[in-house]
Structure 1
Amino acid sequence: MTVLDQRLSEEPAVVLNGPRTVGKSTLLHRLADRLGRSVIDCDDPATRAAVRSDPGRFAGGPSPVLIDEYQHVPELLDAIKAELNRDLSPGRYVLAGSTRYATVPQAGQALTGRVDLMDVLPLSQAEIDGQAGDFLVHRLLGDEGMPSGSTPSVTSRDEYARRITSGGMPVALRRPPGKSRSRWFANYVELVIDRDVVELSRVRQREMLPRLLSVLAARSGQVLNVAATAEAVGMEKTSAENYIRLLEAVFLVQRLPAWGTTLGSRVTRQPKSHLVDAGVMAWLTGLTPEKIAKNDPSTLTEYGHLVETFAVGEILKQVSWWDGPVSVGHFRTAAAEEVDLVLERDDGAVIAFEIKAGTRVARSDLAGIRALRERIGDRLIASVVLYTGALTFTYEDGTVVMPLDALWTNQP
């Protein structure tokens, strides 16, 4: 609760933004219990109707006013704006929503400059394990240096596969692996598409959305080619672009923008796409620990993309906890030299992450990091390759190779 408390002490309105079922409502109700407030739940049809009939009444309660699934009644934002025009004191509103704030009708013009967005994402591995402390991404962003990695990792290949295919959705994790969890993922995707996507926009080809999501899952971790994706689904390009934006709006898909586009004409300007949760991606692509263990080459290729999506998600979760601006993106040249994830602090310092699903890292795997270093020099303050091997070691250029579990285990 400390990050939220800090934001409430500084900002008049805070929006908790993230996928369904990740814990936004739980966080809101805990805050309500602690402060002796009630939560206005717009997911409830009767409450929604009452709020829609008189949004000003519900926006005018004692601070903080706590509203869950506010996107169902976008008229609330105008009522909140009117209240904030009279009083911009910190801590007046906490809103929670399962639709990206910028995509909600009226959001853009209503509270510009008056709302602080907090991402509430699927559980990280550290949260699942109950770990707390100084994690790798925060150490690098804070110039605390790289952990020594003197203790070899004990995470096995099978354990990585189990963690990665499970993802971070709390309700799914409470289900046993297998049919029960698979049913949950199927119901979750159907619910989000049928309720949240359809509420956002009149979708003429609703039946195409699951097919489009499956194609995006199969291409997660790759440069987004909308035309090729549309062709694979059997849609027009403009329709596919619009539908991809809808899937982004409900936190099923996220784009990772191209980074470094000002560094030269030979730097790719296209974004990558990733599924927000690796568990959803694994279910959509049919990847299970048992299937991965068979070492079929085509399965291992798919698993490589899944590992990248998983690791990018873990890093971005830690970035979302960092109290400071961080730009994120991927770097790729026309010669296909790439860095999977680039973080840039507001002082221009850059941290590069390359992700490998294998247990070995060769010098050739550093081509993207070398290309990035050639272009930005000393701005690159840390370069890390995460892999599923056990040992930590450093190449002569300073690139550190670390076990993937360094993202969620505390090391000296």
Structure 2
Amino acid sequence: MDRELTGLAHRHLTGVIKERLAEEPVLVLNGPRTVGKSTLLAELARDFGRRVLDCDDPATRAAVRNDPGRFIAGPDPVLIDEYQHVPDLLHAIKAELNRDLRPGRYVLAGSTRYSTLPEAGQALTGRVDVIPVLPLSQGEIDGRPGGLVRRLLEGAPPPPGSQPSATTRDDYARRVVAGGMPIALRRPPGRSRSRWFANYVDLVLDRDVLEITRIRQREVLPRLLRQLAARSAQVLNIAAVAQTVGMEKSTAENYIRLLEAVFMVQRIPAWGTTLGSRVARHPKIHLVDSGVMAWLLGLSPEKIAQGDPAVLSEYGHLVETFAVGEILKQVSWWDGPVTVGHFRTVAGEEIDLVLERDDGQVIAFEVKAGSRIHGEDLRGFRALKERLGDRMRMGVMLYTGDYAYTHEDGVTVLPLDTLWTEA
């Protein structure tokens, strides 16, 4: 693990964790493999003078299974990595919290989505705070975590954008295809990075998915994942995916849930379904990391630069997945409640990502891979504004053009890199 890269990600998360430890008895650091959760625990261990119990180690795992109560005792905070390998730990922690519920007792890290573990719902409901640890954002990679989403959630106006963007189309392609997985970013683009993505996907499918549950059709998982990559940033039609892969719809649904559980994909729920009968109700599907998606689709900056229409169509979906991921990473750093979804009408008017604050105010984001914005691109903003009125605080169009400006419809148009260059 590249500690320089992961250290950038932890600069703000370490502070968040310590603040939450003063309030919560149990924290769970939850996110994909190799994004730096173990590095975070190691940093906490140094700061607190503790050791990390690593349940990814087979010998440690066997010992913990034999006597979980013994391993959850000790000075606060107790630090446990890959806790999901020993679910009985959660029950032992519950029993301990029944005796002593003071804050700051446990920090757990896991590569399986906490909400998908049946033991989690039974054991620690109401006593745990889940902190997402996601692939690196572009601001973290550059050493200056961007704050555009925080700025907008706080109610501040968008940045003035007096200077043109310095990010070229080729720069965007390189960033989008690279993604945010720290170890992949250490590798040079090309075969070395491609091998890492191949090994990463195999590890997650062969080990993490099968550890959650035994499945009968292991061989279809890679095909299913590739189909979801080809449909990323689109409304999820499980029946169509199942037919393409050659499986029952109910089986496909179960397998997609497994891929969600190990942070390969994520669903963005439909938002605004109470705003009228003509609002679509199906979720969108996104790969969690755009680098993994690009590898699954065989997209490279060189291939994108050739301008083949079919490739550019795939690239448009890849850019949306990339931008949605960047926004959601910044949302995960926000301390207040934010409801996230996508908006789409049966007429095809859509908004890629809607953020609703706890006061009901809405910030809407639409993403375009192109460098020009036309009036037709703003149909979704107009449809949402008609339904929300003053609740719609701001519409933001992100594109790969050079300049920030306000469209005549009142939509703020920003270069995509504003997500990570805005302090």
- Helix, strand or coil: the match of 1:284? helix
Render the CA deviation track for 1:351-390: whole Å, top value 9, x for unaligned. Answer: 0000000000001100001000000111000110000000
Matches within 5 A, 1:245-264: 245-264=257-276
Runs of 4+ in 1 over 3 A off after TM superposition: none
Q: Contact conserved, 1:74 with 1:105, CA < 8 A, in 2? A: no
Contact 1:223 1:271 in 2 (8 A): yes
Q: 1:303 is matched with which residue?
A: 315
- The separation in 2 between residues aligned to 1:132 and 1:221, in whole angstroms, is 24
2:393 is aligned with 1:381: yes
Partner of 1:65: 78
The aligned residue for residue 125 of structure 1 is 138
- Matched residue type, 2:59: A
Distance in 2 of aligned mates of 1:90 and 1:44: 28
Give the length in aligned residue pairs: 410
User: 1:325-364 to 2 correspondence within 5 Å?
Assistant: 325-364=337-376
User: Following the alignment from structure 1 to structure 2, what is the Cα–Cα distance between the partners of residues 315 and 102?
Assistant: 22
CA distance in 2, matches of 1:103, 1:382: 34
Q: 1:406 aligns with which of 376, 394, 418?
A: 418
Which of 75, 99, 106 aligns to 2:119? It is: 106
Q: Determine whether 1:46 maps to 2:46.
A: no
Cα distance in 2 between the residues matched to 1:52 and 1:145:
53
Alignment-mate amino acid for residue 406 of structure 2 = T
Q: Counterpart of 2:325?
A: 313
Letter of the 2:292 counterpart: V
- The two structures, once aligned, show a CA RMSD in angstroms of 0.7
Counterpart contact for 2:137–2:145, Cα < 8 Å: no
Question: 1:397, CA displacement in angstroms?
Answer: 2.7
Change in CA separation of 1:350 and 1:300 when aligned onto 2, cut-off 3 Å: same
How many Å apart are 1:286 and its aligned residue?
A: 0.5
Name the TM-score, length of structure 2 as normaliser: 0.96
1:79 corresponds to: 92
How far apart are residue 132 of structure 1 and its match?
Answer: 3.8
Q: Distance in 2 between matches of 1:295 and 1:144?
A: 38
Kept after mapping to 2: 8 A contact 1:216/1:275: yes
2:32–2:263 Cα contact (<8 Å) kept: yes
Which of the residues 27, 31, 37 maps onto 1:24?
37
Q: Determine whether 1:33 maps to 2:46.
A: yes
1:395 aligns with 2:407: yes
Q: Within 2, Cα distance between the matches of 1:279 and 1:168?
A: 7
**Following TM superposition, by how much is the alpha carbon of 1:144 offset from its aligned partner in structure 2, in angstroms?**
1.5
Q: State the partner residue of 1:167.
A: 179
1:237 maps to which of 249, 252, 265: 249
Deviations 1:115-139 (A, max 9, x none): 0000000000000000046x11001
CA distance in structure 1 between the partners assigned to 2:374 and 2:405 by the alignment:
12
1:367 aligns with 2:379: yes
CA contact (8 A) 2:55 2:86 kept: yes
Distance 2:117 2:258 in 1: 11
Residue-by-residue CA offset, 1:4-61 (whole Å, 9 max, x unaligned)? 1111111000000000000000000000011100000000000000000000111122
Identity over aligned pairs, percent = 74
Which runs of no fewer than 5 residues in structure 1 stay unpaired?
none
Of 89, 95, 106, which aligns to 2:108? 95
Q: 2: CA distance between counterparts of 1:393 and 1:299?
A: 29
Task: Deviation per CA, 1:149-172: give whole Å up to 9, x if none.
Answer: 111101000000000000000000
TM-score, normalised to structure 1's length?
A: 0.99
- State whether structure 2 residue 158 is matched by structure 1 residue 146: yes
Structure 2: unaligned runs, 5 residues or longer: 1-13
CA distance in 2, matches of 1:201, 1:280: 23
Equivalents in 1 of 2:37, 2:204: separation in Å?
16
